[in-house]
Structure 1
Amino acid sequence: MALPIRPGMTVPLPGPLHSHQAKLAELADMGYTDIWSAESDGADAFTPLAMAAAWEPRLRLGTAIVPAYTRSPALMAQSVASMADAAPGRFAIGIGSSSNVIVERWNGIPFEEPYKKVRDVVRFLKDALEGEKIKKSYDTFEINGFRLGVRPEQQPKILVAALREGMLRLAGRESDGVIINWLSASDVPMVNKVVQDAGGGDEKEVVCRIFCCPSENAETVRAAAKFAIAAYLNVPVYAAFHEWLGRGEQLQGMWDAWKAGDRKAALAEIPDSVVDDLVVHGSPAQCRAKIQSYFDNGVTTSSLAILPLDPELNHWQAVKDLAPTAT
């Protein structure tokens, strides 16, 4: 049975969290089915979703993603169970390794054995949500006597953020789906095949964060987007991902200049074609067609992330222009 197509939006929206109630209702009115939070240097992943759980019951809530490292296992289980309890049947937890920058540089936690860490947190969450007392050694941590005191009415979906084959197979084999980002619509079939093949016949949800800027000022958008691309695709895990996808030749000039410390040259080395592959831009109609191509190629759930790459862009108008009900 095919999974439903779910158009979603990244949160939090601009402005203070306490001001978002009416906007979340508008999202649902416009046909968005999901909201997905992230966690790096802004709001934590759970607070915006907890507020939305109370404010707007039509929206499904998900994290894309919570780093596996930055909460202890027991605290992670408590946070997940609390959200599942607050929004029964409407919450999905996305777990990922994040990056060495966020985990090690910003949080002071060694970024070691990311594959095993994510796998162990997923396995521990499944064990904890069963409600039994856990006395068990996982490869990257040991739990001695923890029992989760919150018993959600419905078990939340667990999804794994993945880039290359090992983590993609983990997502297919041990979770309900995968969370992907910084890839083109044409990259999706390659990624999706690894996940679905590992799933053993059970169709897995494919959540994709899609970066969008509905603006026809292509020169301005491309110039600004190159800063974002350089910031991400020089992180080792993303560099390896794009080499695996086949963009090594296109990005080698950027990587070489970046390693040499010449940031200006690195930006100049990013081809416009790479920007056009990874960032949805153009007229609203062109953007909606490009977003649809992600769904056509295997994405089941989108999390649109609107990037302010054009100073003239109005964020909320962009939300409306990209909405499922827009024409």
Structure 2
Amino acid sequence: MTPALSASPGYWQDRPPAEALITVAAADRLGYGELWLGEMATYDVFALATAVAARTERIPLTLGPLAVAVRDPMSIARGVASVADLTGRRVDVAIGTSSPVVVGEWHGRDRRRPAVALRESATALRAFLDGEKVSQDGQVVSTRGYRLRLPAPKSGLTVAAFGPAAVRTAATLADRMVLNLITPASAAALVRDMREASAAAGRPAPRVAVWVTAAVDPSPEALEQLRRGLVGYLAAPGYGEMFIEAGFGELVAFARARPHPRELLAAIGPEVVAAVGLVGDPDAVKARLEEYGAAGADEVVVIAASTDDDPGGVRTLARVKELD
């Protein structure tokens, strides 16, 4: 089964931030089913979503994943309701724990007990989005007495998962689970765990989306961009083990020896990028899409490489959509 196709801007650090608007317009024009807008180092996601709705015709939006240690459930719900009310567009939302760098260093926030924060945020946010008045005294997340004054958006709730606790939260509280930068084999294992947890909780299993980078018949510049995107992941707990299982044990050992980033980048071959993305000729990309579908993904979110010869990843988005 080939999963449904959605798209997201890459927010590539080596490209102008405004290229995100080129990407979203192309995704809308090409007929992608959904547009995901994450929040990175550039645009505020609610401001960007309002601008995107003005530049697209019909595509539904998912905002996030938003870091639960940075944005509280009330502010997320108010932001989602604001975008939905001001644009008339369907707006869903995704949440996750994000990284220690983003939470602790960029925002100066406490990332303590991330699994508890994710679960408690999901509980409160679901109620807010449905228009309920919420009073919750959690271990990490508390709120009392607020109800949306704007129309309740009744948004779908997605949880970004990788570790066991986040998978359980997705399984028991979310409408959808999203996995980022993952091999089909690891995706299959996480989907299996999620479905078992949902069954144990007596509820239907959430749908599954996977975020993947993409470059069809990639140029050297596109491969370089995608390779750079992996430098910070190879040594990370969980991700390192995933790459080891995919056959890149020597590379992970090298990454965990803390070489200079330039040395690590030079050691990352195109086969590493292809292991967690849609990279190669059209046949290879089609085969990988089918592998993600077989692993349990209902949806693949395409993050296209963006280079001087393909600004905004428009050509890659078109070529991937041709395979749908």
Q: TM-score, normalised to structure 2's length? A: 0.83
Could you say what secondary structure the match of 2:4 adopts?
Answer: coil
Distance 1:16 1:198, change over 3 A: same
For residues 190-231 of structure 1, what are the alpha-carbon distances to aligned partners after superposition, in whole Å with 9 as ceiling and x for unaligned?
Answer: 1211122222251412111111122355x7655554322112
5+ residue gaps, structure 1: none
- Cα offset for 1:9? 0.9
Contact 2:234/2:252 (8 A) holds in 1 = no
Q: Which runs of 5+ in 2 are unaligned?
A: none
* Cα distance in 2, alignment partners of residues 112 and 75 from structure 1: 20
Match of 1:208 in 2: 210
Cα separation, partners in 2 of 1:285 and 1:242, compared to 1, 3 Å: closer
1:162-197 deviation per Cα after TM superposition (whole angstroms, max 9, x unaligned): 112221121011111111111122332112111222
Residues 282-291 or 175-184, more deviating: 282-291
Question: For residues 156 and 238 of structure 1, do their structure 2 counterparts lie closer, same or farther at Cα, with a shift above 3 Å needed?
Answer: same
Displacement after TM superposition at 1:56 (Å): 3.5
Give SS of 2:48's match.
helix
Where 1:190 maps in the other structure, the secondary structure is helix
Q: Contact (CA 8 Å) 1:12, 1:37: kept in 2 or not?
A: no
Q: Within 2, Cα distance between the matches of 1:269 and 1:262?
A: 11
Count of residue pairs brought into register by the alignment: 317
> Could you tell me whether the CA contact under 8 Å between 1:163 and 1:241 is conserved in 2?
no
Distance 1:24 1:269 in 2: 33
| Structure 1 residue 5: Cα displacement | 4.4
Is 1:150 equivalent to 2:150 in the alignment?
A: yes
d(CA) in 2 for partners of 1:192, 1:19 = 30
Instruction: Please name the residue that 1:282 is paired with.
Output: 280
Whole-angstrom distance in 2 between the partners of 1:66 and 1:6? 23
Which residue pairs with 2:126 in the alignment? 126
Which letter maps to 2:212? Answer: I
Distance in 2 of aligned mates of 1:136 and 1:106 = 28
Query: How far apart are residue 107 of structure 1 and its match?
Result: 0.9
Kindly report which structure 2 residues correspond to 1:151-300, keeping only aligned pairs within 5 A, or say none: 151-152=151-152, 154-200=153-199, 202-217=204-219, 224-236=225-237, 238-239=239-240, 249-258=249-258, 261-270=259-268, 273-300=271-298
Cα distance in structure 2, aligned partners of 1:138 and 1:57: 40
Residues 116-137 of structure 1 deviation map (CA, whole Å, 9 limit, x = unaligned): 1111111111232343433320
1:140 positional shift? 0.3
Determine helix, strand or coil for the equivalent of 1:159.
strand
Identity of aligned residues (%): 20
> Distance in 2 between the 1:86 and 1:186 partners?
41
Q: Matches of 1:163 and 1:6 in 2, distance apart?
A: 21
2:81 aligned residue: 81
**What's the RMSD between the two structures over aligned residues?**
3.3
C-alpha distance in 2 between matches for 1:77 and 1:274: 38
In the TM superposition, what is the alpha-carbon distance from 1:84 to its structure 2 partner? 4.0
- Please say which of residues 124-133 and 106-115 is displaced more in the overlay: 124-133
Residues 208 and 301 in structure 1, CA contact (< 8 A), matched pair in contact too? yes
Q: Does the 8 A contact of 2:305 with 2:316 survive in 1?
A: no
Change (3 A) 1:140 1:247: farther
Q: Is the 8 A contact 2:6 2:299 kept in 1?
A: yes
- 2:124 counterpart SS class: helix
Q: Deviations over 1:244-267 (max 9, x none)?
A: x67683443233322xx5334433
Q: Which range is displaced more, 160-169 or 57-66?
A: 57-66
Rate the CA distance shift 1:247–1:63 in 2: closer, same or farther, 3 A: farther
Q: Deviations over 1:24-79 (max 9, x none)?
A: 56533423111101112022222332233345453121124111122233212211
Distance 2:89 2:113 in 1: 32
Segment of structure 1 superposing worse, 102-111 or 191-200: 191-200
| In structure 1, distance between residues paired with 2:251 and 2:242 | 12
**Cα pair distance change 1:213/1:137, threshold 3 Å:** same
Is contact 1:222-1:272 (8 Å) kept?
yes
Summarize deviations over 1:123-161 as a string: whole Å, max 9, x none: 111232343433320110322332222232x51000100
Give the Cα–Cα distance (whole angstroms) in 2 for the partners of residues 128 and 298 of structure 1. 30
Length-normalised TM-score, structure 1: 0.82
